[in-house]
Amino acid sequence: MTARVDTAEVAAALRLAPGPVRLADLATDTTPGFDGSKEDGRKALADLGGPLADRQERLFAEGISGGQRSILLVLQGMDTSGKGGTLRSTVGLVDPQGLRITSFKAPTAEERKHDFLWRVANALPSVGLIGVFDRSHYEDVLIARVRKLADEAEIERRYEAINAFEAEQAASGTTIIKCMLHISPEKQRERLFKRLDNPEKHWKYNPADLDERALWPAYHEAYEIALERTSTEAVPWHVVPADRKWYRNLAVGALLHDALVRLDPQWPVAVFDVATERQRLVEERPL
């Protein structure tokens, strides 16, 4: 029991092993890599805020000073799995100036005129930033597969296109952290009832959500195929048990922190002579 989190341990525990994926075999209510309570978990995330913000600022400074690195956090998951909550509670811990958040909806008419990766490429973080995708190009092999929005050959082509695209981004300096927020159908049911029973949450509910929910097995099959086909050595998937909000928030924070620790950005060295500048300021004429 501890209020400290070993972020490397959480990252290792959540990293998807190569090979076929069976989501039914992956628990949605466990807390891999962390043996504390809910209270411990919340405390651990709060305590992670400082280190996260510090390392994020170093990455930002590095980007200002000629660095070429960035981070991209990809959040996927069934409806109510908590993509928005993770953004608020975990991503919200860092300086908003260092973030570029994109929420992907159904493609616009303009977006449909381009390859499916076009809008995603336009939303990539600049150097020094942490980009966050709330949904992503994975919808193009998830809902697209379930709802037959593209034919089989096209869906097949997309897995390879995604791998090539992500490999290119990784090679050019973007650390991509892919998270599937994994909830049980029972938890989704509970959360949908909560949305219906609270007038302050009605705006989050759409009758079409239940139509999508009815396709749960087809979505999970699409996820299983996508996870297997696109979890690579350079850009692996993480399956985050997300029935417990506190663990989901902590886990994504741990993944972000672990990535920042590995990047280990350093404060840029002055490209000017500090003593000279100090002297200029000491000797300045009255304003």
Helix (H), strand (E) at residue 218:
helix 216-230
Give the list of residues 6+ apart from residue 167 with CB closer than 8 angstroms, or none: 232, 234, 235
Instruction: Lay out the site mask for a copy of itself across 96-115 (x = CB under 8 A, - = otherwise).
Output: xx-x-x-x------------
22 belongs to the binding site for a copy of itself (CB under 8 A) = no
* CA dihedral of residues 132, 217, 239, 101 (deg, nearest 10): 0
Q: Determine the size of the site formed for a copy of itself (CB under 8 A).
A: 47
196 belongs to the binding site for a copy of itself (CB under 8 A) = yes
50 belongs to the binding site for a copy of itself (CB under 8 A) = no
Largest CA distance in the chain: 74
- Which C-beta is closer to a copy of itself: that of 27 or that of 64? 64
Q: Long-range contacts for 269-277 (Cβ within 8 Å, ≥24 apart)?
A: 271/65
207 belongs to the binding site for a copy of itself (CB under 8 A) = yes
What does DSSP assign to residue 137?
G
61 belongs to the binding site for a copy of itself (CB under 8 A) = yes
Q: Which of residues 116-135 bind a copy of itself (CB under 8 A)?
A: 134
> Please, is 233 exposed, middle or buried when counting C-beta atoms within 10 Å of its C-beta (0-12, 13-18, 19+)?
exposed
Shortest distance (Å) from residue 112 CB to a copy of itself = 20
- Return d(Cα 22, Cα 20) in angstroms, integer: 7
What does DSSP assign to residue 98?
G
Helix (H), strand (E) at residue 150:
none
161 belongs to the binding site for a copy of itself (CB under 8 A) = no
Shortest distance (Å) from residue 82 CB to a copy of itself = 13
- Which C-beta is closer to a copy of itself: that of 88 or that of 262? 88
Residues 117, 170, 205, 232: which binds a copy of itself (CB under 8 A)?
205
Write out the residues near a copy of itself by the rule CB under 8 A: 61, 64-65, 84, 87-88, 91-92, 95-97, 99, 101, 103, 134, 185, 189, 192-193, 196-197, 199-200, 202-207, 210, 213-214, 216-217, 267-270, 272, 274, 277-278, 280-281, 284-285, 287
